[in-house]
Copies of this chain bind each other. A is one copy, B any other.
Amino acid sequence: MGTSLRDVAVLAGVSVKTVSNVVNGYAHVAPATRAKVEEALARLDYRPNLSARNLRQGRTGVIALALPELDAPYFAELSRFVIDAAAEQRWLVVIEQTDGSLERERQILDGVRDHRVDGLIFSPIAIGADELAARTDDTALVLLGERIHDGPADHVAIDNVRAARDVTEHLIGLGRTRVAALGAQDSSVSGTAPLRLAGYREAMTAHGLPETVATVERYHRADGFAAMAALLAGGAGERPDAVFCFNDLLALGAMRAILSSGLRVPEDIALAGLDDIEDGRYSTPTLTTVAPDKSQLAHIAVDLLKRRLDGRAHAPQELRAGYRLMVRESTVRPSP
């Protein structure tokens, strides 16, 4: 191993504890002693052994971020913000991927107990509210973008229902009447799909418009492509003239399907997504979407975790982050 407090102590001619005091910035250390110790620290290039410190303090300084998949741009972008927000607390972040599998989600929830991490920020898909509530473990847990209300853990998300309604209203406001929703899920116990569907329905009902709902298995471009292709297969009269996709990846897949079928966006079909991933700012046409405040989401999540870890815990909280509607070319072609 490297140099320890003991080595430094020997060199400086003081006790181990005094070195520890200097390292930790304890106030009552005589200037002369401090200087001596600091020189020894520098000479030996001392680094605290964090395993030992963690053992002593019962903290690891590492939190886990569990999400479905890192290569979905939304989660990659979100991870960046979480890592940065955690760094402000001097925490490291380990990333775990669930692939949306129930078993993996259980494993992760369970594995939190092995003391490797102090807390968990979790974006679940498959696991249900009841199972989460049945958790016996008391490790700090924050749920991200999760629909479980009044659940057993802290929770932060945007207002998915309202956001979905806003997008749908925007599409309706363009004068479109055959507005489809793309991204409902048959199996989804949890997740945001039902919320976004609810928001879509509210808007359609409010305007007395008929609903068209396309379901998907997952939230990848390929699913959006396939679902859109199916919608287009209907006759021209039934074909939607606007589509709200439940996330941007679906929208980009759908866009590809529309364009390669020879139709135009937005002239024939207006298209909107949700997430504001960077891809959508560079697609042709650029993609109208809802931009959740990802930085705020990350900061709130880290903050909630911190409160729990500091013991300043209350009843589980449910907090909201903000969002903005970003209108781009896929719904409104700019006049040249």
Which of B60, B97, B221 is in CB contact (< 8 Å) with A80?
B97
Residues of chain B within 8 A of A84, CB atoms compared = 97
| Contact A115 to B284, CB < 8 A, known contacts A71-B278, A79-B70 | no
**B284, A259: Cβ atoms closer than 8 Å:** yes
Q: Let me know if B115 and A2 touch, CB within 8 A.
A: yes
* 12-71 of chain A: CB within 8 A of chain B: 47-52, 54-55, 58, 60-62, 69-71
Contact between chains at A260 and B284 (CB < 8 Å): yes
Contact A225 B94 (CB under 8 A): no
A92 to B60, CA, bound (A): 13
Complex-state Cα separation, A287 to B104, whole angstroms: 34
- Count, chain A residues at interface, CB 8 A: 48
Q: From A221, which residue of chain B is reached at the shortest CB distance?
A: B282
27 contacts between A and B (CB under 8 A): A1-B58, A1-B115, A2-B115, A47-B115, A48-B114, A48-B115, A50-B115, A50-B116, A51-B54, A51-B60, A52-B55, A62-B62, A62-B116, A70-B79, A70-B80, A71-B76, A71-B79, A71-B80, A80-B97, A93-B94, A221-B278, A221-B282, A225-B282, A252-B279, A255-B284, A256-B284, A283-B284
